[in-house]
Structure 1
Amino acid sequence: MARVTATVSASTASVSSTPSSSRMPRRKAGCSSIPATWTVRLRSGHAMSSTRAVMLPAWAQTTPISAPGASRLAMKGSCSIDDIITGTPPLAFTFGLGGILIFPMLFRASTRFLESPLPNDILETIQQYKITQIYSAPTAYRAMADIAGDYDISSLRQGVSAGETLPKATWEAFRKATGIRLIDGLGSTEMFQIFISASPEEMRPGFTGKVIPGYRARVVDDSGNEVPPGTPGQLAVQGPTGCKYLDDPDRQPVYVKDGWNYPGDVYEMDEDGYFKYVARADDMIISSGYNISGPEVESVLLEHETVAECAVIASPDPERGNIVKAIIVLRAGFDGTNDLIKTLQDFVKNEIAPYKYPRAIAFIDELPKTQTGKLQRYRLRDLETS
């Protein structure tokens, strides 16, 4: 391993490495507070040192990729002075801070900030400024795929998706429309940046990827014991980053247990070390004793030609405890009829285990989202139980 020294200024950036320990520099006192994305009700802040904020991307870029089970970092070897980068996440969140500010500064690339997050405005920016890389959420990529043919985006060679799981249908739609194999990534504010991902060549649609160099990840049960491959469980992560909740000592021991960070995601890991997203822990639906992943049902519904966006939540039911309910935004030209509800229910039954199908379906004009494009399912759950 190598310790990396990074010098960043407005006009120049350099990265050099010297033989040393693989450990990151010792964290100094927190210098910044980074807000967590608002997919839960409580707003939280995380203290992060400037050393780690700047050193992490540089360290990741020069870390060998030969470690067993390790995947190449999405940005590794693919960012240069010739790149022009854009993205939808605000700089107040680590996906935007790293992807469209720190990474470009380190490699002397350029960033074009977006004035609007609307799909047509993003594509117009890519066309006008010859953007080569973009960072955004799955919802934006799905919307862009529908109209990408109306723009010249031949300059674009890489797209990185994070913020929420990237559905297989969205990955395939964007590839069909642009020829680009989107890079999925899992990160968190607490860990500062992406820690599970894969290069475009290594990407498997429906999987987030493998743990990147320098990190360790495993899937565990409620007691912290590793579960067999293909078994859902809590994701636990260790690595060179991590931070403390700001003025929230009660939450710290919930997130960090025995040196492992628990982001609150349910994952499966296959025998090849690829991680597959199941759900956020609070997005699991228990119906008649069955554990049902809301995002799994969403992924299937998104494959239907009538569905533009959807969210799947638990709806209280006196007999089953909860039932699966899908809230759907339809594509233009389709109406939410009873016949369509039946068609969608049958479609899900034919694709996954029949007990997972949405027993209730509602149609809506727009789904609630955060500034970074992440779906706010809790707001839909609140409406359902109010």
Structure 2
Amino acid sequence: GGIGSLKKCVSAGEALPDATRQLWKQATGIEIIDGIGATEMIHIFISSPPEAVRRGAIGQVVPGYQARIVDDDGQPLPPGAVGRLAVKGPTGCRYLADVRQSQYVQDGWNLTGDAFSMDADGYFFYQARTDDMIVSAGYNIAGPEVESALLAHPAVAECGVVGVPDEERGQIVKAVVVLREGQVPSEALARELQDFVKRTIAPYKYPRAVEFAAALPRTETGKLQRFRLRQAG
């Protein structure tokens, strides 16, 4: 009984923040096995065994599947480039007499709604849902990357990052932050979090708007409802 009987741990449903992965490893000694699948594919198609985990990556292609990163025209992109994830394998879905067939399946490749990059070793790195990518002053910014940076700050319990309209920049990055117990919202703390993101990832990715909240909107399965954060402005 107890935690000592735990052999493996699997994450699914949302991108696994690196801070969560590290805290779990420190507490249990066990690597979390991350992975991504899709309802349309009926299977996980990218994952890694514990001994092959690479920091920040979802994993590599599961045997039997192929995956690549493509541009808006469906053409393959080189390692390091951010684009749409395309997957091919023994499972999948077809839309009969439905316009979604031409949108979702092209030349046998199932086009997901996820933005990814792939490194030279074939490890896939999640960026965001394609409709969650933030374009601010010409920069493409992945909300989950900013969330991971904020979660590494000791004052932050959880957070959600979205793009909100801005006349000058098109969009700006907005963070909705739930603080850990004992932490008090303040303008000084908001500035501290902004500076922390600048130092952790890149200055242009920092949240220009920070809002503190008691809780985040989630589905019954725990997925963050970013569209509700966008609606709230």
Common fold: TM-score over 0.5: yes
Residue ranges of structure 1 left out of the alignment (5+ in a row): 1-129, 131-151
For residues 241-262 of structure 1, what are the alpha-carbon distances to aligned partners after superposition, in whole Å with 9 as ceiling and x for unaligned?
01235x8812222111111101
Q: Kindly, what percent of the aligned residue pairs are identical?
A: 60
Match of 1:323 in 2: 172
Match runs of 1:351-366 below 5 Å? 351-366=200-215
Relative to 1, partners in 2 of residues 1:163 and 1:356: Cα closer, same or farther, differing over 3 Å?
same
Match of 2:23 in 1: 173
**2:97, 2:224 → 1: CA distance?**
25
Q: How many residues align?
A: 233
* Match status 1:210 vs 2:60: yes
Identify the match of residue 287 of structure 1 among 133, 136, 140.
136
1:324 CA drift (Å): 0.3
* Match status 1:309 vs 2:158: yes
**2:53, 2:222 → 1: CA distance?**
22
1:218 CA drift (Å): 0.2
Q: Secondary structure at the match of 1:324?
A: strand
More off after superposition, 236-245 vs 205-214: 236-245
Match runs of 1:209-228 below 5 Å? 209-228=59-78
For residues 147-175 of structure 1, what are the alpha-carbon distances to aligned partners after superposition, in whole Å with 9 as ceiling and x for unaligned?
xxxxx311111111011111111100111
**2:93, 2:209 → 1: CA distance?**
41
Q: Secondary structure at the match of 2:196?
A: helix
1:179 CA drift (Å): 1.1
For residues 308-340 of structure 1, what are the alpha-carbon distances to aligned partners after superposition, in whole Å with 9 as ceiling and x for unaligned?
111100111111111100001111010111110
- For 1:265, give the aligned amino acid: D
Match runs of 1:107-186 below 5 Å? 130=1, 152-186=2-36
**1:326, 1:248 → 2: CA distance?**
41
Match of 1:337 in 2: 186
* Match status 1:261 vs 2:96: no
Match of 1:81 in 2: none
- For 2:173, give the aligned amino acid: V
Relative to 1, partners in 2 of residues 1:248 and 1:357: Cα closer, same or farther, differing over 3 Å?
farther
- For 1:332, give the aligned amino acid: E
**1:267, 1:193 → 2: CA distance?**
18
- For 2:183, give the aligned amino acid: F
Q: Secondary structure at the match of 1:276?
A: strand
Match runs of 1:54-73 below 5 Å? none
1:290 CA drift (Å): 0.9
The TM-score with structure 1 as length reference comes to 0.59
Q: Secondary structure at the match of 1:262?
A: strand
Larger Rg over CA atoms: 1
Match of 1:275 in 2: 124
- For 2:181, give the aligned amino acid: A
Q: Secondary structure at the match of 2:5?
A: coil
RMSD: 1.2
Relative to 1, partners in 2 of residues 1:239 and 1:300: Cα closer, same or farther, differing over 3 Å?
same
Q: Secondary structure at the match of 2:232?
A: helix
* Match status 1:250 vs 2:99: yes
- For 1:331, give the aligned amino acid: R
Q: Deviation above 3 Å: which 4+ runs of structure 1? A: none
**1:322, 1:196 → 2: CA distance?**
31
Match of 1:133 in 2: none
Q: Which has the higher strand share?
A: 2
**1:364, 1:248 → 2: CA distance?**
45
* Match status 1:298 vs 2:147: yes
**2:230, 2:118 → 1: CA distance?**
29
**1:202, 1:355 → 2: CA distance?**
32
**2:100, 2:178 → 1: CA distance?**
35
1:176 CA drift (Å): 0.7
**1:300, 1:248 → 2: CA distance?**
44
Residue ranges of structure 2 left out of the alignment (5+ in a row): none
Relative to 1, partners in 2 of residues 1:157 and 1:292: Cα closer, same or farther, differing over 3 Å?
same
The TM-score with structure 2 as length reference comes to 0.97
**2:172, 2:211 → 1: CA distance?**
13
For residues 201-258 of structure 1, what are the alpha-carbon distances to aligned partners after superposition, in whole Å with 9 as ceiling and x for unaligned?
001121000001000000011111111111101100000001235x881222211111
